[in-house]
Amino acid sequence: MNSLIPLLVAAPLAGAALLLLGGRALDRFGHWIATALAALSFAFGLALFADMLGRDAEHRAVVERLYTWIPVDGFQADISFQLDQLSIVFVLLITGVGSLIHLYSVGYMAHDERRRRFFGYLNLFLAAMLILVLADNYLLLYVGWEGVGLASYLLIGFWQHKPSAATAAKKAFIVNRVGDMGLSVAIMLMFAEFGSFAFGPVFGAAGDASQGKLTAIALMLLLAACGKSAQVPLQSWLGDAMEGPTPVSALIHAATMVTAGVYLITRSAAIFNLAPDAQTAVVVVGAVTLVFGAIVGCAKDDIKKALAGSTMSQIGYMIMAAGLGPIGYAFAIMHLVTHGFFKAGLFLGAGSVMHGMNDEVNMRHYGGLRKYMPVTFWTFLLGTGALIGFPLLSGFWSKDKIIDAAFAKGGAEGWILGLCALTGAVITAFYMTRVVLLTFFGEKRWQPDGDGNLPHPHESPKTMTIPMIVLAFGSVFAGGLFTLGSSFLNFLEPVTGHQEGHPPFNSYVVSVIATVCMLAGVGLAYVMYGRGPVPVKAPVGSLLTRAARRDLLQDDFNHAVLVRPGSALAATLVWFDSKGLDGFVNGLAAAIGGLSGRLRRIQTGYVRTYALSMFGGTLVLVASTLLMRSV
Amino acid sequence: MSYLLSATCAVPAAGAVLTAALPAGTGEARRRTTKAVALAVSAATLGLAIAVAAAFEPDGPRYQLTESYSWIRSFGISFSLGADGIGTVLALLTAVLVPLVMLAGWHDADPAAPEGSFESKRRTQGFFALILAVEAMVLVSFLATDVFVFYVFFEAMLIPMYFLIGGFGDRAGGPDSARQRSYAAVKFLLYNLLGGLVMLAAVIGLYVVAGDQGQATFSLPALTDAISSGKLVIDPTVQRALFLGFFFAFAVKAPLWPLHTWLPNAMGESTAGTAVLITAVVDKVGTFAMLRFCLGLFPDASKTFAPAILVLSLIGIVYGALVAIGQKDIKRLVAYASISHFGFIIMGIFAMTSQGQSGATLYMVNHGISTAAWMLVAGFLISRRGSRLIADYGGVQKVAPVLAGTFLIGGLATLSLPGLAPFVSEFLVLVGTFTRYPVIGIIATFGIVLAALYALMLYQRTMTGPVKESVTGMPDLKARELAVVAPLVALTLLLGVYPQSLTRIVNPAVNDTLSQVHRIDPAPAHPVAATNGGEQK
Amino acid sequence: MNPVNYLYLAALLFTIGASGVLIRRNAIVLFMCVELMLNASNLALVTFSRLHGNLDGQILAFFTMVVAAAEVVVGLAIIVSIFRTRHSASVDDSNLMKL
């Protein structure tokens, strides 16, 4: 059975190779191959899951070692996969949602001439993401980590002819690289400290290491997580990443890849648990991002960017939960999974709307679409309900647990975190209601596209609606199912550990408060956008709104602090290289040239001058010989 | 005594003479004969190099397949060859790259001047003969076990390189490209001659010092044995001076910051194939020689100077990458990227850990392959448009997707994407440096962010965006060009996921080098019980 | 007669030849002056041979004569060909190699 584990990765990898190298012959049916291989991988995942459930909790983790990847004295990296409870959750999420989004893309990308390549990239992403969650050591994890970065780069920039897409792709890769630097430093620290970077040995020996070293390792891992999961301060790439085709935003930039940071922290629980200072940093990053992302989500008129802000904010919740330690790990993962369902569903819904509206993304140009796209509307509504934590839907269960855990942290810290989480809940409800109202309700504000054609909204084809319906089911039921008898918690506990939190008040009270908060947000949005007509052109807005539209000035900050000085430095060095270093060399050459030009004048070209100097020389020689002898 | 090594070196040398002697002519048929002969010779050399690698036993003695022919007996000089793990893989790299370089430059030496003019008569013969001559000399350098023989060929390869750089440009320069080219060629020659001259003094000095203690020989194994067994003790001051003499020559060739300024000119003005020869083959002799000669002959001085050299290489890593970001010329950008990579190689060597040195050796191979892929595709691109300026391109991906795809893979390899070969070596170098010099290791990781910047900016500016008018109708890669790129891409992938094939050969030689300098790896602070992570739970 | 007088003669001849080389421009004359110097040294050599009573000097004189003969052949050929192409035997006119 364990030999299925490599096949999980191999299936999409083979698909990627086939589609990217196969040539035009595969143009007509290549997308079905890719979809089938993704589904096959999902089937393998289900089989492995069934197999795992057949064993008792202690024997569920298995390791499948393929071969030694890099053997150098004292340094051994293996191509080796580890499938445990945490990995299988991710495997099922990745391949399950992945397969659905492959199916959706068949419809969404039907008219793109480079569809074959798109599916090749999607398969490549699946393979890399599976390597990331299945690796049994940090170096192999790093391969998956950068592999998903590559897939993300290729897919964000899929429409490369648009300069904005190409720029966004590059930005995403480079910001992620900054995070990856953290991961590589963390691996180096582990190697210097433990002589290994495989999960088992490192976690086993973590207790021996000094507090300072552990904190350093944990902070570097946090840096990596910030990059991949778009957390403050490395969050700036996610909004721009929406330049990619919408299925990509759903799969990579909502459901799976961006949650890799949460996986990394949860997986490294053994290190973080021993480094409380680093945990505090994690919590702070999560709390700041959850508010930050939510504020940005409120101001965006671009439906995908609003959702991207929401993704950032929701991952902030997860990161915060993971930073809380054993009371939060399992809930972080649970929210991650439910978020995977509803956020992917929301993005697919957004894609469906764009599909019907000539690729318009500005919500101020939507309005009244619920009659034209009923399936999209209902699935989107259910997803929204799940996201804002409408009672009994998925998000309600998972988010409440996180708010619970935040309060359970205790002391002033607990209150601050809990209030942050509640504030986030209010804002989340506000911006999601705003999105629904602007898109599906109100009067039509449709604008003609570049060619002057008014959009003719229509429901999307079956290949697109089916995945949306399936994901809507997940959005509705997954949370309740997981909470029922704490099944999810018990399943994960052997890996992540669990510790019951003790919030200052009963968890039912938290649920009620959270629900009230949610309703407040919904009501506020209704008051602002539901009652009157919505202007087609965005009003100027307050200072905060304007800042939020510019992503709270994050790009301006990066530009001023990093990009501008950086390019100035590069320009200075180019100048220094050609004028300074090379100038010195050329100057030296010119000096020698000049000197020899002077010396050349001695050579007059007249034979008699040479003869005279010869005679003179001989005379001196003879005279000095005689002189020497006489002395 | 087997004749495998001498055959490996002699075949390209004889091929060079043969190619040069082929009947001159300007017709297409004559030229094709010349090219076919040269390509066949380089393929035969590749076969011999593979045979050497196959015959090499990783667990055997350090130098294998040794041969020795008396040359200048009164000075103890003999023409002796021997393959060790490091030399073998580099010889293999050379033999792999040369046929591809020839294939890539198939039309680079077709006469630009009108048919029948004096200039064009022997151009094709000359170009291919020079490439083979370089190959022969580089192979001897990698396989020589005699210091003097190494020196002679280390210097002699400058001559064919000089003519390759100065005589054959990429026809994409500005109006004064001929002047630029001769400037680049002369600069290359002067820089390297200066380095060689200093080294000659050190070689003679070494002989004198060794002769004073009854070890009058140029044989490298004999000298290193005498040094490590204490029979030959070089006074510390003298040792430092000799070390610097050797190191200076290698640092110019490698090139190490701040001795690098000849490289961008030489790579920018020459053909893409020649640029690959420079950066992927000839420069490797410099880093290779640091590992073999500097560390083997002057262990104490190497340790003394290691921190200073590490700082220089660190500057090179960051500086090269930053200057690459600011370049406007595609080929110069690749050249500065190479300078950054050479920083990594030298850093790995002088970190003096087994990870660092194995990584550095792998790095030489991987950098050779990946830069060859990147540079040759860049060359194909440049030959289509006739310009080296980045700003002259845009949207190529739309009209020539395969070209753009391979260019991206080359760029991704350059930025050390995991799964591709350079990642393995770069990470080994970083880890190996970090365990001994943590601060330097951490600063060097900034190089990976900067590498992403220059590689992706180049791709973005040339390949993406709306199709520029100047590139419309640009043809995609032809079969010949695909045949050049495909093996390189395949090797990049293969060595990325299965580097064992090389590490197996390289590791013993690296350990031997480390024992010569009496260095052991720093032990981890809290070692885990078992080093084999895979078996753990 | 005292053999030393021959040495004075040789010195005189050598000086004449040397000043000729330094002063004259005509290649033929220069050439004759060089010959004069060579023969002056021959004379000195033979004289020394006589003075010391061995044959070393005479042998050396023979060598000089042979070399001088060879030199005359090559030198005259060069002068003739230069005269043909440039219609001048002045050494100052042949300055093509001078930058």
Chain A residues within an 8 Å CB radius of C91:
606-608
CB contact under 8 A, A166 and B465: yes
Residue C15 pLDDT > 50:
yes
Question: CB–CB of B526/A193 below 8 Å?
Answer: yes
pTM: 0.88
CB contact under 8 A, A76 and B532: yes
Chain A residues within an 8 Å CB radius of B266:
none
Q: What is the pLDDT of residues A144-172, one digit of tens each?
A: 999 999 999 999 999 888 889 999 999 99
CB contact under 8 A, A188 and B430: yes
pLDDT band at B530 (very low <50, low <70, confident <90, very high): very low
d(CA B232, CA B215): 7
In this structure, the number of other CB atoms found within 10 A of the CB of residue B55 comes to 15
Q: Which residues pair with B72 in a beta bridge?
A: B77
Question: CB–CB of B337/B414 below 8 Å?
Answer: yes
Question: CB–CB of B461/B390 below 8 Å?
Answer: yes
Q: What is the pLDDT of residues B448-507, one digit of tens each?
A: 899 999 999 999 999 988 888 888 888 888 899 999 999 999 999 999 999 988 888 888
Name the residue of chain C whose CA is nearest to A606's CA: C92
In this structure, the number of other CB atoms found within 10 A of the CB of residue B512 comes to 18
Which region among A185-194, A537-546, A559-568 has the lowest average model confidence (pLDDT)?
A537-546
- A601 phi and psi angles, rounded to 5 deg: -60, -25
Q: What is the pLDDT of residues A345-402, one digit of tens each?
A: 999 999 999 888 888 888 888 888 888 889 999 999 999 999 998 888 888 888 888 8
Q: Interface partners of A (3+ CB pairs, < 8 Å)?
A: B, C
Chain A: nearest CA to C95, how far in angstroms?
6
Q: How far is CA B236 from CA A481, B215, B240, B310, B434, in A?
A: 75, 18, 6, 21, 28
pLDDT band at B121 (very low <50, low <70, confident <90, very high): low
Question: CB–CB of B461/B391 below 8 Å?
Answer: yes
pLDDT of residue B471: 83
CB contact under 8 A, A611 and C21: yes
d(CA A9, CA A518): 40
Q: Shortest CB distance from C92 goes to which of A606, A611, A615?
A: A606
pLDDT band at B248 (very low <50, low <70, confident <90, very high): very high
pLDDT of residue B41: 94
In chain A, residues 423-482 whose CB comes closer than 8 Å to chain C? none
pLDDT of residue B25: 65
Residue A509 pLDDT > 90:
no
Element (H, E) at B68: strand B64-72
Q: Is C92 on the interface with A (CB under 8 A)?
A: yes
pLDDT (average), residues B107-117? 62
Q: What is the pLDDT of residues B309-363, one digit of tens each?
A: 999 999 999 999 999 998 999 999 999 999 999 999 999 999 988 899 999 999 9
d(CA B389, CA B471): 13
Name the residue of chain A whose CA is nearest to B423's CA: A143
Q: What is the pLDDT of residues B389-400, one digit of tens each?
A: 888 888 888 888
| Burial category of A87 from C-beta neighbours within 10 Å (exposed 0-12, middle 13-18, buried 19 and up) | buried
Q: What is the pLDDT of residues A117-130, one digit of tens each?
A: 999 999 999 999 99
Q: Is A584 on the interface with C (CB under 8 A)?
A: no
Which candidate in A19, A65, A70, A112 is best for mutational testing of the B interface (most B CBs within 10 A)? A70
Q: What is the pLDDT of residues B151-176, one digit of tens each?
A: 999 999 999 999 999 888 777 766 77
Q: What is the CA B229 to chain-centroid distance, rounded?
A: 32
Q: Which residues pair with B169 in a beta bridge?
A: B270
pLDDT of residue A101: 92
Residue B299 pLDDT > 80:
yes
Residue B26 pLDDT > 70:
no
d(CA B248, CA B270): 25
What ipTM, to 2 d.p.? 0.90
Element (H, E) at C5: helix C4-23
Which candidate in B408, B449, B457, B500 is best for mutational testing of the A interface (most A CBs within 10 A)? B449
pLDDT of residue B532: 44
CB contact under 8 A, A612 and C22: yes
Q: Shortest CB distance from B503 goes to which of A71, A170, A184?
A: A71
Report which of B93, B123, B91 is spatially closest to residue B109, judged by C-alpha positions: B123
Chain A: nearest CA to B503, how far in angstroms?
7
Domains, chain C, ordered by start? 4-86 (1.10.287.3510)
Q: Which residue bears the tokens 């790095």?
A: B363
Q: Which residue bears the tokens 């209601």?
A: A433
Question: CB–CB of A600/C99 below 8 Å?
Answer: yes
Instruction: Please give the single-letter amino acid code of residue A146.
Output: E
CB contact under 8 A, C95 and A605: yes
Torsion, Cα of A583, A584, A587, A588 (10° steps): -150
Cis ω for the linkage preceding A374 (within 30 of 0): no
pLDDT of residue B117: 46
pLDDT of residue A219: 94
In chain A, residues 177-206 whose CB comes closer than 8 Å to chain B? 177-178, 180-181, 184-185, 187-189, 191-202, 204-205
Kindly tell me the sign of the dihedral angle through the C-alpha atoms of A167, A169, A175, A181.
negative
Q: What is the pLDDT of residues A232-257, one digit of tens each?
A: 888 888 888 898 899 999 999 888 99
d(CA A396, CA A385): 9
pLDDT of residue B112: 61
User: How many residue pairs bridge chain A and chain C with CB atoms within 8 Å of each other?
Assistant: 21
pLDDT (average), residues B185-203? 92
CB contact under 8 A, B497 and A69: yes
Which region among A92-106, B14-28, B285-299, B440-454 has the lowest average model confidence (pLDDT)?
B14-28
A132-160: b (≥16 Cβ within 10 Å) or e: bbbbbbbbbbbbbbbbbbbbbbbbbbbbb
Q: What is the pLDDT of residues A315-354, one digit of tens each?
A: 999 999 999 988 889 899 999 999 999 999 999 999 999 8
Q: Which residue bears the tokens 């992917």?
A: A344
Q: Is A601 on the interface with C (CB under 8 A)?
A: no
Name the residue of chain C whose CA is nearest to A604's CA: C98
pLDDT (average), residues B178-197? 90
Chains B/C: 3 or more C-beta pairs closer than 8 A? no
Residue B140 pLDDT > 90:
yes
Q: How many residues does chain B have?
A: 537
B337-366: b (≥16 Cβ within 10 Å) or e: bbbbbbbbbbbbbbbbbbbbbbbbbbbbbb
Q: Interface partners of C (3+ CB pairs, < 8 Å)?
A: A
Element (H, E) at B89: helix B85-104
Residue B180 pLDDT > 90:
no
pLDDT band at A133 (very low <50, low <70, confident <90, very high): very high
- A300 phi and psi angles, rounded to 5 deg: -75, 140
Q: What is the CA A235 to chain-centroid distance, rounded?
A: 9
pLDDT of residue B118: 44
pLDDT of residue B101: 93
Q: What is the pLDDT of residues C62-80, one digit of tens each?
A: 999 999 999 999 999 988 9
Residue B535 pLDDT > 60:
no
CB contact under 8 A, A607 and C99: no
Name the residue of chain C whose CA is nearest to A611's CA: C22
Contacts of A432 (CB under 8 A, 6+ apart): A310, A384, A387, A388, A525
Residue B48 pLDDT > 90:
yes
| Count of H-run helices and E-run strands, chain C | 3, 0
Q: Interface partners of B (3+ CB pairs, < 8 Å)?
A: A
Name the residue of chain A whose CA is nearest to C24's CA: A608
pLDDT of residue B122: 67
Q: What is the pLDDT of residues A39-52, one digit of tens each?
A: 999 999 999 999 98
Q: What is the pLDDT of residues A294-309, one digit of tens each?
A: 998 888 889 999 999 9
Name the residue of chain A whose CA is nearest to B429's CA: A188
Q: Is B386 left (phi over 0), alpha (psi -120 to 50) or beta?
A: left
pLDDT of residue B346: 94
Residue B115 pLDDT > 80:
no
pLDDT (average), residues A438-466? 84
